[in-house]
Amino acid sequence: MKRNISSAFIALCIILSMILSFSSCSLLNLSPIKLTSYNEPLDFHTPDQLSYMLGDYEAIAAYADGHEEKSRPDAITLSWTDSSSAGKYTVEISESENFLNPIVLSTDKTEISVYNLKIATEYYWRVSTEEYSAEGRFTTSDVGPRNIYIDGVTNVRDLGGRMTSYGKRMVQGLLYRGARLNTSDVNNDSYKTPPQVFVPEITEAGIDMFKNQLGIKTEIDIRLLNRNGYPADKPAESTVPGVEYIRIPMNGNSAIGDNETQIKLLMEILADESNYPVYFHCNIGTDRTGMISYLIGGLCGMSEEDLMKDYLFSNFGNIGEAKEPHNSKNKYVELLSADGDYEGDTLRERIENYFISIGVSEETYTAVRDILLGN
């Protein structure tokens, strides 16, 4: 009889222990942090940028004229409540449900703003204190471009994110276009006088965004040597420490026939996956940079409308002049049109034939396309 009572007592203790343990875990999981739910995709474009992207590209003059910095995205702001009033939070944002390679931010407020997220992407986010945490998810709008905020630099965006004729989006975070990172004491209209003073324009905050947030490994500078802001005694190195710097000087008239050797070299660099992520630029990031963007985007199957819309998006940057749908600086559009100099039923085919005509091998341009489409 005593043995039965003892066994019953032990069993009761075990049950009570399990109940207490379960209750304790449940209480711990009742976090006072409540994340705001975002049921609609979040968009980081300014109202004018969004109106332009959703409308007719020839209406660019209604939104921007190239004389004011309007190219940067708005921040996406995430918010939450906390009944414990902890006052110090760590925020993690990741494309992985397991929070691999997260963006990590800190704040003492119950909201945080984040720049340079990708378009058409599902994100997981977590807010933590020393005692509690809460997790959620949100998506971003599929409206391109993925325009980028790099402090001190205008007219920056990702070539990735757009839908292509291959039925997939170009991979984001690999190839960025934009304006210069530095200038000089030389008047920008001079082609002959070499610079005497090196003047960085990208700020320390911009350097952090460029190198640490975006992880850019290679800077390709396609400005002419007398206009690249580097004095003769200045080492050929990136304005961003630790980033590989490659000079490929191209003529400023953007005529592809005048830059064949340089374009071939650039394609060979882009065919090497170890060089990515890459940032390429001329002076204001519009014409020579636009030419390369048009060739690469068209090679990957972007539509002609999206390519022209991307070219004219430069008017949102502080580029010093307004660009028109067709002008002397984008003659490559006409050359690569159905009535132009290169055969092919599609823009992609005509660009392939152009590359072949200047000595870019099929292996090279296919490698570039495979990298940028994630094949």
Q: 253 to each of 86, 287, 318, 328, 340, how far by Cα in Å?
A: 58, 8, 20, 7, 18
Tell me whether residue 357 is in a domain: yes
Task: Say how far apart CA 311 and CA 296 lie, in whole Å.
Answer: 13
C-alpha closest to that of 116 among 100, 105, 129: 105
Residues 119 and 174 placed together within one structural domain of the fold: no
The string of pLDDT tens digits covering residues 79-122 is: 999 999 888 999 999 999 999 999 999 999 999 999 999 999 99
Task: Say how far apart CA 145 and CA 46 lie, in whole Å.
Answer: 12
Q: What is the pLDDT at residue 190?
A: 54
The backbone region for 171, taken as left when phi is positive above 0, alpha when psi lies in -120 to 50, beta otherwise, is: beta
Q: 125 to each of 34, 54, 108, how far by Cα in Å?
A: 12, 29, 17
pLDDT at 191 over 70: no
Per-residue tokens: 14: 């075990």
124: domain CATH number?
Answer: 2.60.40.10
Tell me whether residue 124 is in a domain: yes
Residues 208 and 341 placed together within one structural domain of the fold: yes
- Count of structural domains, the chain: 2
- In sequence order, the β-bridge partners of residue 94 are 124
78, 106, 139: which is the final residue of a domain? Answer: 139
- Give the contacts of 191 (CB within 8 A, at least 6 positions apart): 224, 226, 227
Domain range for 128? 33-139
Q: What is the pLDDT at residue 225?
A: 83
pLDDT tier at 184, thresholds 50, 70, 90: low
Residues 198 and 346 placed together within one structural domain of the fold: yes
Residues 168 and 315 placed together within one structural domain of the fold: yes
Range scoring the smallest mean pLDDT among 4-8, 166-170, 317-321, 347-351: 4-8
Residues 45 and 170 placed together within one structural domain of the fold: no
139, 159, 188: which is the final residue of a domain? Answer: 139
Tell me whether residue 125 is in a domain: yes
Residues 172 and 304 placed together within one structural domain of the fold: yes
Per-residue tokens: 166: 């291959």
Q: What is the pTM of this model?
A: 0.90
Burial 112-136 (b: 16+ CB within 10 A, else e): bebbbbbbbbebbbbbbbeebebeb
Q: What is the pLDDT at residue 253?
A: 65
Q: 121 to each of 105, 139, 143, 169, 174, how far by Cα in Å?
A: 19, 5, 11, 11, 15
DSSP per-residue string spanning 45-63: S-HHHHHHHTS-GGGGGGT
From the number of C-beta atoms within 10 Å of its C-beta (0-12, 13-18, 19+), residue 145 rates as buried
Tell me whether residue 60 is in a domain: yes
Task: Say how far apart CA 31 and CA 336 lie, in whole Å.
Answer: 59
Average pLDDT of 332-336?
91
224: domain CATH number?
Answer: 3.90.190.10
The string of pLDDT tens digits covering residues 218-271 is: 999 999 888 888 888 888 899 999 999 999 999 876 567 779 999 999 999 999
